[in-house]
Each structure stands twice: as structure tokens, then as C-alpha cells.
Amino acid sequence: MHGTVVHRKLRFGPFELSIGERLLRRDGRVLPLGDRALDILSYLAARPGEVIAKQELMDHVWSDVTVEEGSLRVHVAAIRKALGDGQFGNRYIANIRGRGYSFVGTVVPLAGGTEKRSAKFAPQGRLPVRPITMIGRETVVSEVSDKLRNERFVTLLGPGGIGKTTIAMAVAHALAEEFAGQVHFVDLESLTDPRHVAGAVATSLGFALKSKDPGPELLDLGRSQKLLVILDSCEHVIETVALLAEQLYQESEQVYLLATSRELLKVEGEHCCRVLPLDFPPDGSGQTASAVLQYPAAQLLARRVAARAGSFVLTDEEAPFVAEMCRKLDGIPLAIELAAGQVASLGLRNTVARLELLKLAHRSAVARHQTLKATLDWSYNLLSDGERIVLRRVAPFVGHFTLEGARYVAGELGVGTREIFDAIAGLVEKSLIANRIDETQAQYRLLDTTRAYALEKLEEHAEVDVVVRRHTEYVAGYLESQRVALLALAKG
């Protein structure tokens, strides 16, 4: 159908809902929201102040199938997350106990709601929003796209805040045409029960599960058309996601999977792509503005400061401060974006001097990314007891350390050698410790942001004195052994 159609547009707070276009925008930017969630939001917002019974909502949204009330709750939670409902005093959707839901925000109908729309384009998938800006990731997006075409199953691996979701979204847009718009984004971050994983995937694919065993239904859809399914934030429900992903990969050749996680799923078909920090300026003298801005980390910082402050011109005098800040933040995009707000308010020098990595805030981010502490809390809470112990006890090491060093510092407090080595391996797998292997032995290192967090945990557990003493003893013994070795070499 072609021609002009009348569509309703509603505004509430900073949001604009176009019921005809089926789009939710905030400050002109389209927000990712699935079709069912949009149906629910449109139905509620069109009748502000009314209490809509849950059964009425379900009958409207799922007119063709029978679903449980849990499906409605999942979609309402997604709407609330998109709207930031409850944050900073903003309320939009109220749950009226025993009755249903009500849209409690102030709704303003917008004039000029008549739009021309072509019926030729009808998006089939839940394509995530294209990242507004992405710096220094073009190569990895291209590499992941190629690997996904060839291998069908790729996991983006890296610590929190490194930019895995941003890259996944960019890959989705790069491949959208090849999948005829059949790109489905599954946000697993909000799930607390692994039993809801299959339901979340099914919801993203646009249908309600009719049985408790989701496999056959998901596989039938995968056999009928070529799909790209993005499984975002897998780590806290990783065992369930791994089983489902492996089943989809093995039994449906038209399903392509892109996962983001802080540890690998470890199943058949999975290919790892480790997401590295943005390149940042090395330590050194004579750093000019033009030289520093050759590095993606510095470019990101400058762009984000300009966005916050209105304008920003980096001078040669200030360039070393940008370089130092990017180094302290380990080139982690989230950390840089959070620090940019401080720079816009306090200036470069003051921010570098009083950089409080774990207390910076980012209002529009999901809960685990609103501060660096929240991001690290998310990872820390998923660790085993042994991994938590070792993580905080290796915090005194600045730079690289060895397994022997970790054993000496952590082993004093009742943790055996094997447990320490297993914990180190687990922390590497979960992207909390970086490792490198040279000709003689493996070397390990905590990112500065992780190290600051681990030191806080060391203080919380009242272990600072004993662990720092053990660390001092180890370093002194190591230096003495090096001195003896050099003397022996000189005599020889």
C-alpha cells in the first residue's frame, strides 16, 4: 500500500513515540525496542491514566497465541529499561497491584502526525540501533563480519566496558542487508533466571513459546530462513546460553550467532574474537596535540569532551594530560567516556590529578555500565570464592607478575598452590587478568581500573597489611635473587 497515511505521534518527557512508524525516539535518536514491547507501550501511552488489565494487554499483543503473564512482565521490564523508568524521579509505567498497568507519564499528542511511508520496506528483525559514533573499531568490525560469514558462530570476548556490544551492533548493521533485515538482538543483561533465556530469544525472534522445551520451535524457525541472532551479555547465564547456542548451531545451518561475553561459551562451533582496548599514546616526552590525537583513545576522549562542553580544542600544552589519562584508563572506551564528563566540568589537569575511576557516572547506560564500579561489581559477583580471593590479593602487583608471585602473595592466607593456579586461569578466562607468554614463562597483569577495584576489595576484607607485607617480601626476595645471579654472571 502506497500513499499518505495518518499516524499518531505522542510525546512524554524526552521521548517521542510514533505509533505509525513503530519507533521510539529520545532526543531524535531511535531506541531499540522489540515489536511486542512497542505494542504494549503504544497501547498504554494511547490511554494515559487508565488502568489496563494484564489480560487485556496480553489479548491485544498476543491475539494469535496464548502466553503466560511472565511474557508480559519481561516486555514491560524492557520498556522500563528503555525509558529509564524510576531513574532520577521519572515514572512512566505503574504496576497497579491486582489490577494491571497504567501509563502515568504526561502525554502530549503531537501535531503534524501525517507522514508519507512506503510499504516496500518492512523490517523483519529486531535490528539494534546503529552506534552514533565508533572510533578505532573499523578493522575489528570488518574482521568479525568476515569471520561470522565463514564460521557462523563468533563470540566477542573482553572485560566490561571494552565495547563488545557497540561492536556487535555495528556488525549487525554491516550485515543487515545480507540477512534481509533478519537480525535479532537478544539483551540477556536484565535476566536473573537462566530459565528465561529461551523465552528472551523467542521474544526477539517475534514469537511466543508454546511448550516448555524451546528447542524444536526455535530450530523450525531457523530452518525456514537465514537469521543473525546476537546474544548480548552472556556471562551471568552462560551455561544455559551455551547449551542453546550449541543446539542452534548444530541443527540449523541458516542460524548465525554473535555472542558478547566476558568469558567464552566453550561449545562446538564457537570462534573467539578478543576485543582489545583502544590504542593510547605511550609514555614519553614531546607529545604534541597532533601526535596524541593519532590514537583512537585520545580521539574518543576529545570527541566526548566536545560533546559535553560544546567545543574542545586540544593544545600542545594539554596533550600530555590527555595521553596520561588514556594510559591510566587502559584505553577502555567506557572509562574514557565516563572521564570525559569530568573533563568537561573540571578541566584536563584537575581531572587527571583527582581521577576517581570507580565513581564516574553515565546516566544513559544500562545499570552495570553506569559506573566503572558497577561494571566491575557485575564481574566480581560472578566469580567463585577462590577467584575473588586471588583477584584482590594480587592487587599489590603493579605491572606484570608471575604464577610464582601470585602463589607467594595469595598462598600465605590459606589458599593452596593448585587453587591459586586454577583461580588465575579462571580470571584470565573471565577477562579480569591479561596474560602474555614469553620465551621463559607466562606473565600476568591487572588493568589499572581492575587493580584499583581489587585494592578496594582488599581493604574491605581487612587484608591489606598482611598481603602487602607478603608482596614486599616477595619483591625483596626476587631482587636479591637477581642481584646474586648478576654477581655470579660477572664472576663467571
User: pLDDT, tens digit, for every residue of 391-412?
Assistant: 999 999 988 899 899 999 988 5
* Between residues 1 and 443, the one the model is more confident about: 443
Predicted pLDDT at 148: 96
Predicted pLDDT at 9: 77
Q: For the sheet with 93-96, list strands across it.
A: 51-53, 100-103, 93-96
Q: How far apart are alpha carbons 254 and 151 in whole angstroms?
A: 12
Q: Does the structure show a pLDDT above 50 at 187?
A: yes
Q: How far apart are alpha carbons 92 and 41 in whole angstroms?
A: 10
Lowest-confidence segment of 148-157, 242-251, 372-381, 383-392 by average pLDDT = 372-381
Name the nearest CA neighbour of 41 among 94, 87, 107, 93.
93
Q: How far apart are alpha carbons 303 and 306 in whole angstroms?
A: 5
Grid coordinates of 232 = 548480548
Phi then psi for residue 102, to 5 deg, are: -140, 140
Helices (H), 191-270: 197-205, 215-224, 238-251
Predicted pLDDT at 203: 76
Lowest-confidence segment of 126-130, 255-259, 288-292 by average pLDDT = 126-130
Q: How far apart are alpha carbons 323 and 295 in whole angstroms?
A: 9
| Residue 89 confidence class, pLDDT cut points 50, 70, 90 | low
Predicted pLDDT at 102: 80
| Residues pairing with 157 in the sheet | 261, 274
Element (H, E) at 84: none
Please compute the mean of the pLDDT values over residues 437-466 and round it to a whole number.
86
- Torsion angle of alpha carbons 149, 150, 155, 159, nearest 10°? -90
The share of the chain scoring above pLDDT 70, in percent, equals 80
Q: How far apart are alpha carbons 256 and 224 in whole angstroms?
A: 13
Predicted pLDDT at 179: 87
State the SS3 of the chain.
CCCEEECCEEEECCEEEECCCCEEEECCEECCCCHHHHHHHHHHHCCCCCEEEHHHHHHHHCCCCCCCHHHHHHHHHHHHHHHCCCHHHCCCEEEECCCEEEECCCCEECCCCEEECCCCCCCCCECCCCCCCCCCCHHHHHHHHHHHHHHCEEEEECCCCCCHHHHHHHHHHHHCCCCCCCEEEEECCCCCCHHHHHHHHHHHHCCCCCCCCCHHHHHHHHHHCCEEEEEECCHHHHHHHHHHHHHHHHHCCCEEEEEEECCCCCCCCCEEEECCCCCCCCCCCCCCHHHHCCCHHHHHHHHHHHHHHCCCCCCCCCHHHHHHHHHHCCCCHHHHHHHHHHHHHHCHHHHHHCCCCCCCCCCCCCHHHCCHHHHHHHHHCCCCHHHHHHHHHCCCCCCCECHHHHHHHHHCCCCCHHHHHHHHHHHHHCCCCEEEECCCCEEEECCHHHHHHHHHHHHHCCCHHHHHHHHHHHHHHHHHHHHHHHHHHHHC
The residue to which cell 542460524 is assigned: 255
Q: Does the structure show a pLDDT above 90 at 191?
A: no
Q: Does the structure show a pLDDT above 80 at 48?
A: no
Predicted pLDDT at 215: 63
Grid coordinates of 151 = 564460521
pTM score of the predicted model: 0.67
Q: How far apart are alpha carbons 98 and 76 in whole angstroms?
A: 16
Mean per-residue pLDDT of the chain: 80
User: pLDDT, tens digit, for every residue of 351-374?
Assistant: 776 665 444 444 444 444 446 777
Residue type, 1: M
User: pLDDT, tens digit, for every residue of 108-157?
Assistant: 776 544 333 333 333 345 555 555 567 899 999 999 999 999 999 999 99
| Residues pairing with 273 in the sheet | 156
Predicted pLDDT at 64: 61
User: pLDDT, tens digit, for every residue of 414-424?
Assistant: 566 888 889 99
Name the burial class of residue 384, with classes exposed (0-12), middle (13-18) and buried (19+) by CB atoms within 10 angstroms of its CB: middle
How many CB atoms sit inside 10 A of residue 139's CB? 8
Please compute the mean of the pLDDT values over residues 457-471 and round it to a whole number.
91
The residue to which cell 564528563 is assigned: 341
Lowest-confidence segment of 38-52, 336-350, 363-377 by average pLDDT = 363-377
The share of the chain scoring above pLDDT 90, in percent, equals 25
Residue type, 298: A
Predicted pLDDT at 414: 57
Predicted pLDDT at 86: 59
